[in-house]
Amino acid sequence: MSSRGGSESNHSDTFKKDEGAKWFGLVTKARSGGRVSVIVETPRLAKLVESSVHAFEDSPGLQFPSITSFVGFTGAGKSVLIRSLIYHSAKDGTFSSFDAPVPGARSGEGLLLSTTGEVNLYAEPSTFGTKSPIFFADCKGIMGSEPLASRYQNSWAKLGRKYRIQISMDRRTVVKKIYPRFLYIFSDVVCYVTKDHRSWADTAVRLLEWSSAGAQTTINQYTLPALIIILNAPIVENSDWVSDDQDAVTRDFFRVIENELEANDNLTGLASKYGDTSMLELFKRSYSSVHVHYIPLQGNGRLGNVDVVYKQTERLLARIKSDTARVQKNRAGSLTRFDNKQLSTIADLAFKHLATGSAEPFDFGRCRQHAGVLETLDSHFGEYLRHCFKSNIRLGLGACVSALGSAIFMNALLAKDEGKYNTLMLGSLIL
C-alpha cells in the first residue's frame, strides 16, 4: 500500500514539473448556458525564446525560432522519442538542465491514455542560443482522449492568452481540427510517429487527412513544411533500413502505399481534383519533402542493440536539422520566416482566427503586414498579383502579363545600373 502511494506521489511530482512545458491546450467548463471551450496559450514559447536569446554571451538578439511537431496516435512513443533526441543533442552533463517529456506508461491504465496534456514545447539543446533555435512540440495523441497529465496538471491554464472557441466543439474535434491547423501553420518539420509497419496505407491516409486540415485552410504560405514519418520501435527488422542508403525505407514506404491511390475513395478524389498520378505527388501538395525513418526496438533482435538505435537516433536528429535549415531558407525567401519578436504576434493572430471556427483560410499575407515584415519589391509584386486575380481572372491575367513584362524589362536595366530604376519599377507596379 505504501509502495503504491509512493509511486503515485512520484508520478505526481514528475507531471507537476513537466507542467511548465505546456505551450497551449484546451480548457472546457460547464456553464448555465452550456459548455464553454477555451484555447489557452501559455507564455512557454515566449520564455523559451527569451532564454535562447540570453543563453550565451554571443547568442544573437535577433533569432528565428523553428518548430518541429511530433504527432501520432497514443502509444506511438512520441514523448520517449523527443526525450531521446534531447538526450543525444545535449552536451555531456547538460541533459538535466533541459526540460524533457514524461515518458508514456508501459503497463496498466496509463498505457491506454495520452501521456502529454495538450501540446508541450521543449528546446533542442544543440541549436539553443543560436540564430535558429529549434523547439520540439509534443502533441497529445490525435484521437483526443483525456490525457493522463490532466490528473496532475491543473494550474497551467491560469496564465496566458485565452481564446474562446466560437462554435460547439468537443475535445476530440478540437484535437483533430484546430490543433493540426495551428501546428501545420507553424511547423517547419512535421514528424509523424508510428509503431505499426503493417498499416502504412492507413498511415498515409491519416497523414493526408491531418495535413489537409492545415494545407487546405492556409493561403499565401508559399513554403510548405517537411514531413518525416518515423517508424518507431516496431517488431519488424530490416537491415537495409539502417544501412548507408538512408532513402531505402522511404522507397519501400511509397512502393507499399502506391495502390492506395486507386483503392481509397478519398485519395482517389483528391488525386482527381489536383490531377496527381502518384502518392508522392499527393503528399507534395502538403509537404515540401517526405522522408521515412526507422528506429529499431531496443533489445529486440539483431538490430535492437544500443549502437544501432543510437546511430538511427543521431541520423533522425541530423535529418530534422537539415530539413529545418532548408525550410527556414525558403521561408526567408518568401517573407514568411518570423523572428523572435514577430512570432508571438503571429501566434496570436492564428489562435484568434482558429477559435472563430471559420472556414476561411488563414492568410500569411496579412500576417506579414501585422508582424511588420520588411516590405520589398518582391512582396509588392506578390501583393499586386494577388489583387489582379482577386475578382476577375480574365481581366487580371491581362494586367498581370503587362506588369510582368514591364518587370522583366526593368530588371534587365537594373542589372546594368543597379538602383537607378528601382523607384521607377516599384512605382510602375503599384500603379
**Would you say residue 163 has pLDDT above 80?**
yes
Q: CA nearest 116: which of 152, 155, 166, 164? A: 152
Q: How confident is the model at residue 11 (pLDDT cuts 50, 70, 90)?
A: low
Paired sense of beta strands 119-123 and 22-31, if any: antiparallel
Residue 198 DSSP code: G
Q: What are phi and psi of 60, to 5 degrees?
A: -65, 145
**Would you say residue 383 has pLDDT above 70?**
no
Q: CA nearest 292: which of 241, 257, 328, 243? A: 241
Angle between helices 171-186 and 200-215 (to 10 degrees): 80
pLDDT tens per residue across span 273-285: 889 999 999 999 8
pLDDT tens per residue across span 63-100: 999 999 999 888 899 999 999 999 999 987 788 889 99
Can you read off the three cell numbers belonging to residue 268? 482517389
Q: How confident is the model at residue 303 (pLDDT cuts 50, 70, 90)?
A: very high
Can you read off the three cell numbers belonging to residue 19? 507542467
CB 78 within 8 A of CB 103: no
Paired sense of beta strands 289-295 and 187-194, if any: unpaired
CA distance 97 to 193: 26
CA 422 to chain centre: 38
The pLDDT, as a whole number, for residue 190 is: 96
The pLDDT, as a whole number, for residue 308 is: 96
Percent of the chain with pLDDT over 70: 77
Angle between helices 78-89 and 306-333 (to 10 degrees): 90
Q: CA nearest 130: which of 321, 315, 375, 258? A: 321
The pLDDT, as a whole number, for residue 84 is: 95
The pLDDT, as a whole number, for residue 375 is: 47
Mean pLDDT of 101-116: 56
Q: What is the residue-averaged pLDDT of the chain?
A: 82
Higher pLDDT, 204 or 376: 204
Q: How confident is the model at residue 20 (pLDDT cuts 50, 70, 90)?
A: confident
Q: How confident is the model at residue 365 (pLDDT cuts 50, 70, 90)?
A: confident
**Would you say residue 195 has pLDDT above 70?**
yes
CA distance 6 to 375: 59
Please classify residue 417 by burial: count the beta carbons closer than 10 Å to its beta carbon, then call 0-12 exposed, 13-18 middle and 19+ buried.
exposed
Q: How confident is the model at residue 393 (pLDDT cuts 50, 70, 90)?
A: low
Domain ranges of the chain: 11-371, 377-430
CA distance 147 to 102: 12
Higher pLDDT, 146 or 140: 140
Higher pLDDT, 397 or 263: 263
The pLDDT, as a whole number, for residue 210 is: 79
**Would you say residue 313 has pLDDT above 90?**
yes
Mean pLDDT of 18-28: 89
Question: Can you spell out the DSSP letters for 98-143?
Answer: S--PPPPPSSSGGGGS-SS-SEEEEE-GGGTTSSS-EEEEEEPPTT
The pLDDT, as a whole number, for residue 31 is: 76
* Residues 6 or more apart whose Cβ sits within 8 Å of residue 57: none
What's the pTM value of the predicted model, to 2 decimals? Answer: 0.82
**Would you say residue 104 has pLDDT above 60?**
no
CB 102 within 8 A of CB 81: no
* Residue 11, number of CB atoms within 10 A of its CB: 16
**Would you say residue 115 has pLDDT above 80?**
no
* Residue 401, number of CB atoms within 10 A of its CB: 11
Q: How confident is the model at residue 229 (pLDDT cuts 50, 70, 90)?
A: very high
Q: Measured between alpha carbons, how far is residue 233 from residues 87, 193, 297, 384 in Å?
A: 17, 10, 4, 50
CA distance 302 to 409: 64
Residue 288 DSSP code: S
For the domain made up of 11-371, give the CATH fold: Rossmann fold (3.40.50)
The pLDDT, as a whole number, for residue 268 is: 86
The pLDDT, as a whole number, for residue 48 is: 97
Q: CA nearest 78: which of 221, 190, 236? A: 190
Angle between helices 422-430 and 393-416 (to 10 degrees): 180
**Would you say residue 158 has pLDDT above 90?**
no
